[in-house]
Amino acid sequence: MSFINVDAASDFSYQNLPYGVFSTSDNPKHRIGVAIGDQILDLSVIKSLFVGPVMSKHQDVFDQPTLNAFMALSKEAWSETRRTLKSLLSATESTLRDDVSLRSRAFVHQSAATMHLPADIGDYTDFYSSRDHATNVGIMFRGKENALMPNWLRLPVGYHGRASSLVVSGSAIRRPCGQMRPDQTKPPVFGPSKQLDIELEMAFFVGGGNQLGEPIPISKAHEHIFGMVLMNDWSARDIQAWEYVPLGPFLGKNFGTTISPWVVPMEALLPFAEPNPIQDPEPLPYLRHDDAYTFNINLFVSLKGQDMSEAVNICTSNFKYMYWTMKQQLTHHTVNGCNVRPGDLLASGTISGPNPNSFGSMLELSWRGSKTIDVGEGKNRTFLQDGDEVIIKGHCQGDGYRVGFGLCRGTILPALSH
């Protein structure tokens, strides 16, 4: 369907066309690109080809070093851009295909590019929207009778994270130090976290924002959701356990959060939408919507230690296990008049499914450290060791093609001495 050859197993099919920000050794300027196969199409080179009624007035957004200005445009602008890209990349359109000089300037091999954060992320919110995950954690810390707090089935629970420590895939993560209380009969101690964990998550970027004091209604929420990335919300469980009462996550969470560099637009994901989960009790009216906004995205987490010859899968899950939808998350976030801005990032919370192999954190996979996680070659883990690399992958599977997200990876560095 495209003149660019794309392998059926590639995340970056003609049906995908995700946006990212990249640079190259011969041109260190950060610029906006679209991934297709093993190539990147540099939109700053072809910006003059966006001649539709909307984007002809906004070609300058493709000269920017981040996606924020493009995200700030309307859903109509995003759709028009996607239609233009599909036309330019199609097998029948000659503008790019047959212009050898333009093609040589417009395309960069992904292996020659360095990827960067796709947006200047002003604010970051992390939700807690997997019922299986919330139930598992509740059982561990409060018992089966009180697994879910009374508010959990009534609203999308979340907290404000730390935008400054969001990093792009491939960045190393330093093991954090902090206060912990491993022995409840003794005072707390200070030192490197001994229960460093992963959290399999996804996140979406906010497009056009809202004015302070003007909520985004559920009927309009999709117009403000630009696209999605993979995310690993690294967590220091022992630091978190001591600090989180009564105000919630703090130092156990804000030392590093990794996202994948390619933002998959919602239009590419809509063919994989499924009916939303049945919510009982029924949410209050402002959170109700009938249109399908739950997505069948296959998710995989693998781990490779310094003592291992290859990465081993430790989790296979799916984004469709989420209880609260992204539309509900965004609407609830703004219902009190809170303003969100283009480039803000809203995350799902840990994505766990109903089976043990679909649990999205080592806290659950090891059941709070009470059992080991087999990583092959006679090795095991309960939590992360220094040198461990965690790789998250995800894709929607179409008929002979994939809509995928690339990699979300990070390696643990030893703690700094204090």
Residue numbers annotated as active site:
133
Q: Where do we find the tokens 């508010």?
A: 151
- In sequence order, what are the residues at sequence separation of 6 or more whose Cβ sits closer than 8 angstroms to the Cβ of residue 298? 316, 318, 394, 395, 396, 397
Q: What is the 3-state secondary structure (H, E, C) of 372-399?
A: CEECCCCCEECCCCCCCEEEEEEEEECC
If you write DSSP's letter for every residue of 55-70 in order, what string do you get? Answer: GGG-GGGGGSSSSHHH
Report in angstroms the alpha-carbon separations of 72 from 66, 173, 175, 215, 375: 11, 31, 35, 17, 43
Sign of the C-alpha dihedral, residues 98, 103, 107, 108? positive
**H helix runs in 90-154, sequence order:** 94-97, 100-106, 131-142
Instruction: Sort strands 345-347 and 373-374 into parallel, antiparallel or unpaired.
Output: unpaired
First to last CA, the chain: 57
Q: Greatest CA span in the chain, whole angstroms?
A: 74
Instruction: Sort strands 158-160 and 166-168 into parallel, antiparallel or unpaired.
Output: unpaired
For residue 413, how far is the Cα from the chain centroid? 22
Report in angstroms the alpha-carbon separations of 261 from 19, 38, 229, 308, 359: 8, 15, 7, 26, 24
| Residues linked to residue 355 through DSSP beta bridges, in sequence order | none
> Backbone phi, then psi, for 190, in 5-degree steps?
-115, 140
Report in angstroms the alpha-carbon separations of 29 from 32, 64, 249, 287: 10, 10, 36, 42
